Structures are given as C-alpha cells and as structure tokens.
Amino acid sequence: MSEETNGDIQITEVSEENKIKADEARDAANILFRAKKFEAATEKYTEAINLNPNVAAYYANRSFAYFKTEAYGYAVADAEKAVKIDPKYIKGYYRRAAANMALCKFKDARRDFRIVVKKAPGDKDAKDKLAECEKIIRKIEFEKAIEVDSPDKKLAKTLNVDSIVVEPSYDGPRIEDGKITKEFIEKAMEYFKNRKRIHRKYAYQIIIAVQKIMSETPSLVEITIPQDCKLTVCGDIHGQFYDLLNIFKINDLPSEKNMYLFNGDFVDRGSFSIEVILTLFAYKWLYPNSFYLTRGNHETDDMNKVYGFEGEVKAKFEESMFRYFSETFSSLPPAHLINQKILVVHGGLFSRDDVTLDDIRKIDRFDKKQLESDSLLRELLWSDPQLLPGRSPSKRGVGIQFGPDITENFLKRNNLDLLIRSHEVKENGYVIEHNGKCITVFSAPNYCDSMGNKGALINITPDLQLSYKTFEAVPHPDVRPMAYAAHFGGLF
C-alpha cells in the first residue's frame, strides 16, 4: 500500500484484492450486527478498515457498533473519520450526532443534526431529533438561569405534602401518619406490577423522606455486616421493574437481616423506572441502616433528559416531580465501604495515583459542577476497567479506563481487598477481572430487551465470602425500552 494526502485526509492505495476482502469483512460484520453480536461485529468492521481505510461507510458502521456497546467516545471518533473521508456522507454526521447525544453533548449533536437536515431536507426523523435537541438545550439554559444553589432553598423544604388531597376514589396503598411500613411497600409493588400508580402524595413523601436521609449521609458510606446477616450487591437495574421483583423472589425481600446495596443506574432506558425508584426509595426509608443506594451515572439530569426518566415522570405523575427526584439523586453517595475491605462504586477508579478513601469522603456531591469536570465524582460514576496495564482514554468519552496495576495499587494504598463496580453489561451478569481484584456486577438481564445477557447479584457474608446468583429476564408488559425518551428513543 502507498499513501497520498488530499487536504488533511490520507488516501491509501488499496489493491483490488484487498477491496474485495474488505467488502467481505463488512458483509460478515453486518450479519453479526443484525444478530446483535456487536463486539464481534466491531472486530469485523475493524478488519474491513484495515484492509481498505478509504471507505467512510466502514467507519460509520463501526461507529454504530460501538454505539450499541455504549462506547460512545469511540463512536464519535469513527463518525468523525467517516465525514473527513467523505464530507457529503450524511450517515456520518447522523452517527456523530447520535453519539454526542448519548454523551449529553447537546450543542455538538445539534450542529450535526442541522447538517443532516440541510443535506436531507426531507428526512423527518432528523428534523424531529433536531427539534428535540434544541428543546433540551433551551430547557437546560432556562433551568440554569433559575437554578437555586442554596441548600436552604431546596424544593423538598418548600412542599407541604399534607396539603395534597387523596381522592376518595383512590384504592391503592396508603402511608398513614407519615410512616412507611413493610405492608405499604409490598402492596405498592403489587400495585405497580398491575400497571397502577400510587397516589402522588405518597410518591412525594417517599422522595422527600429519602432526600432527608441521604442529605445526612457521608459521601463514603461505611457498612458493617452483622454476624447473623448477609449483604447482597446488585448492579444496574435500568427501569426493569419486573426483573427487580424477580431479584426479590430469588433472593428474598429486603429486611434488617437481608441487607441490600443497589449500585446505581436505577432509572433510564427501561420504561418502568418510576416503579423501580419508588420501590428502592421506599425500602431505603423503611430500612435506612440495612438498605443502601449508590449514585450511578444515570442519576443525573442530563442523562435523564435523554434516556427517558424525565419523560416517564412527566407521563406518570407530573413534570415538577422530576425536580424532586433530581435533588434526591444529587444527595446519593457515590461510594460504599464494606467491612473496611471492599469498596463499591458504580463506575471505577481515577486518573491520578494518589487518591485515598479520605479524598472520597471529602467529595462535595451536592455541587453540580463536580459532574462538569474531570473530578473524582465524575470518574467514580463513569470509569471502566481494561485488560492492559495503565490508563487509557475512556471508550465512553467520559472518565477513564484503568488497568489491573491501577486497581492493585489503589487497593494496596487504601488497605482494601476488592473493588466491586457495575456500569457495564456482562454476558453472564458478572465478571471477575484484574487478578480477582475487580468485579463487575450487572443486574438488568436482557438489557433493553435486546442484549440477551443474564443478570447477576453478589451475596456477601460477614466474613466477606462472596457467592453469585445469575438469572434470566422475566416477561414484562409490552412497553418498549426508551418509550418515554421523546424522539430520541429511536437512536438507542
């Protein structure tokens, strides 16, 4: 092969034989993609690109495969290569817009949707997505203009829940005298299961009670497992309420002795997020010292605007309720420490070597600016492990990727034995990496009704023995994932 430069694009001379082989690799990748084997498809698209790096469509196709595995940073990079090779290639701009939307880079996405609409004025789908993108940008700018940062002016302190009237026609479970009970939660779960909503008064009571508990909670929560108890760590649930019910079926309902830690990403994508979060919040209110919730990267405003939770709150209750959820999400701690030896976070580790548990304790999680920079909080929510030593830029475009040496050194520095995290789909529901020092657990089986993965949970005894349960997805009502994500549902 030889290369020549056309502007800032390198054109590689490719033999006819390699062009044919490249097309064959692309065709094989397309078959794998349609079979939802996205990682294998990525490898085949890479093979096509290595054989013939001059074809914009190869990069756009691999961009889409990366997108499906939530490697949005890689998806943006490939889409950019596609439009550099062929500035007239509309799909490249669309792929870049979609990946930037996934990263909540709304202005970058708007730029590309505008290009698509200009080049293809008859594309209604692109017009709808551009309109929705512009709507989100306007809303964010408005919310920033009226944002109240003073903790003394939190919404939860201004709502008079007692003034909300429960209509005589309401036949659902009730919270009496402002106290949550086991019976209320079990009745509420059955109510949710039958596609009914609890009264908004009780939803607000649950949200506000949990916000009060969490606002008094440190950023690093220390958990001690009593001798006659067990602690179950669950990963992402993502609005899959019927799978949450199955977890409680196979692993028993929460109690003071059957402790739970749900490790973030309770909402978004799945279209039963309200049912999930109200159930989890209710249990947190009932068992504040044996039921724990970690903040995930989807317990943030930007993600909720794109991936469906904000729309679901508006559809099932009212738009103003989302702001109460938002405040409560900001109060969730980003890390838990089990028996002084196991650190549990949603995403992963850090871009620096000197981070200590005290640094995590000092995180000001209530400061929204912490999520706009490469802060410890952002890295806790977003980072992922990698097989190779050292650190790499994140495949997601946010946070970092960290190798086994980074995990080993962090654990040694802080006198820890193990890191448990979630954040990534795993075929068997969990995976043990980094010489047994880093475990990923993911509890949303058949994620988004499309990935075919199992879910998993981890049972931990007082002497820190770990055992795993895996489970398949259970049936749910015929509501597609991202049903409340406005015009962006089709992107994901």
Both structure tokens of 102? 């996934």
Element (H, E) at 455: strand 455-460
Residue type, 338: I
Contact between 462 and 231 (Cβ < 8 Å):
no
37-52 residues labelled b (16+ CB within 10 A) or e (exposed): bbebbbebbbbbbebb
Residue 471, SS3 per DSSP: strand
From the list 199, 298, 423, 434, the catalytic residue is: 298
Is 487 a known active-site residue? no
Residue 335 has φ and ψ, to the nearest 5°, of -155, 150
Residue 401 has φ and ψ, to the nearest 5°, of -110, 135
10 Å CB burial of residue 238 (0-12, 13-18, 19+) is: buried
**CA pair distance 61, 77, nearest whole angstrom:** 12
Q: How many CB atoms lie within 10 A of CB 362?
A: 12
**CA pair distance 152, 66, nearest whole angstrom:** 44
Residue type, 409: N
**Could you tell me what percentage of the chain is helix, strand and coil, using 3-state DSSP and rounding each to the nearest 5?**
50, 15, 40
HSE at residue 484, side-chain half, CA atoms within 13 A, is: 23
**CA pair distance 97, 82, nearest whole angstrom:** 13
Residue found under tokens 């692309």? 26
Residue 179, SS3 per DSSP: strand
Nearest to 297 by CA among 96, 38, 140, 103: 103
Contact between 443 and 429 (Cβ < 8 Å):
yes
Degrees (nearest 5) of the Cα angle 229, 292, 360?
115
Both structure tokens of 46? 């890479």
Element (H, E) at 467: strand 466-471
**CA pair distance 325, 252, nearest whole angstrom:** 27
10 Å CB burial of residue 149 (0-12, 13-18, 19+) is: exposed
- Torsion over CA: 282, 283, 288, 293 (sign): negative
Enumerate the active-site residues: 298
